[in-house]
């Protein structure tokens, strides 16, 4: 099929919203070293790459310098501020199921509670969207994968699997099949 009338030019296509979620918090950097951004500069560049590829919404997670997923409000603030400069036309979306770790000695961690979700209002600059997860934080993501999907990654090691990998749904309900078991 040939499109000689310019139908494939972006300006001639219907509006489309593409959301990119490039930060992969369930993976560790060694799983996909060529793809998982770790440094703040790499995380910003990943957003620029997504925007350049056509994404208009960015689902944001942040990593610490050691590659672990950050739970510090200050790191989210830092990345959001840099993204506002690097990709000002992107819609920035933060997950509403984030738990925040203490920033200083003696502070208590704030886990999944109303207090934690209220902390999302303290993000500066403000994200454009906050996702609302309904029961997905209790979902076994491995049920959506085949063994080949995680072969040679950190999730191939049962000790590295999220606690949800050991949960199961009652028979007959969505998500009750598990390829991986507990």
What tens-digit pLDDT sequence spans the chain (182 residues)?
566 678 777 788 788 899 999 988 888 899 999 999 999 999 999 999 999 999 999 999 999 999 988 888 899 999 999 999 999 999 999 976 666 666 776 666 555 555 666 677 888 999 999 887 665 555 677 777 888 988 888 888 888 776 666 655 555 444 444 444 44
Residue range(s) defining the domain that contains residue 116: 13-133
Is the same domain home to 66 and 52?
yes
Is the same domain home to 36 and 54?
yes
CB distance 138 to 128 below 8 Å = no
Total domains, the chain: 2
* pTM for the model: 0.71
CB distance 109 to 101 below 8 Å = yes
**Could you please report the per-residue DSSP string of 32-89?**
STTT---SHHHHHHHHHHHHHTT--EEEE--B-TTSSBP--HHHHHHHHHHHHHHSTT
Is the same domain home to 96 and 70?
yes
CA dihedral (166, 96, 42, 71) positive or negative:
negative
> Within a domain: residue 1?
no
Is the same domain home to 26 and 109?
yes
């Amino acid at each position: 099929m040939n499109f000689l009338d310019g139908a494939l030019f972006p300006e001639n296509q219907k509006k489309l919203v593409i959301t990119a979620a490039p930060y992969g918090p369930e993976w560790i950097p060694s799983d996909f070293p060529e793809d998982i951004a770790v440094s703040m500069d790499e995380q910003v560049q990943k957003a620029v790459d997504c925007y350049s590829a056509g994404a208009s919404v960015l689902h944001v997670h942040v990593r610490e310098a050691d590659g672990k997923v950050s739970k510090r409000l200050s790191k989210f603030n830092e990345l959001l501020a840099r993204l506002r400069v690097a990709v000002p036309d992107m819609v920035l979306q933060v997950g509403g199921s984030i738990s925040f770790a203490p920033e200083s000695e003696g502070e208590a961690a704030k886990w999944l509670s109303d207090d934690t979700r209220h902390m999302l209002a303290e993000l500066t600059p403000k994200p454009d969207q906050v996702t609302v997860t309904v029961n997905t934080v209790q979902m076994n993501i491995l049920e959506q994968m085949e063994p080949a999907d995680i072969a040679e990654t950190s999730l191939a090691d049962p000790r590295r699997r999220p606690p949800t990998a050991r949960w199961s749904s009652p028979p007959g309900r969505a998500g009750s099949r598990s390829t991986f078991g507990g």
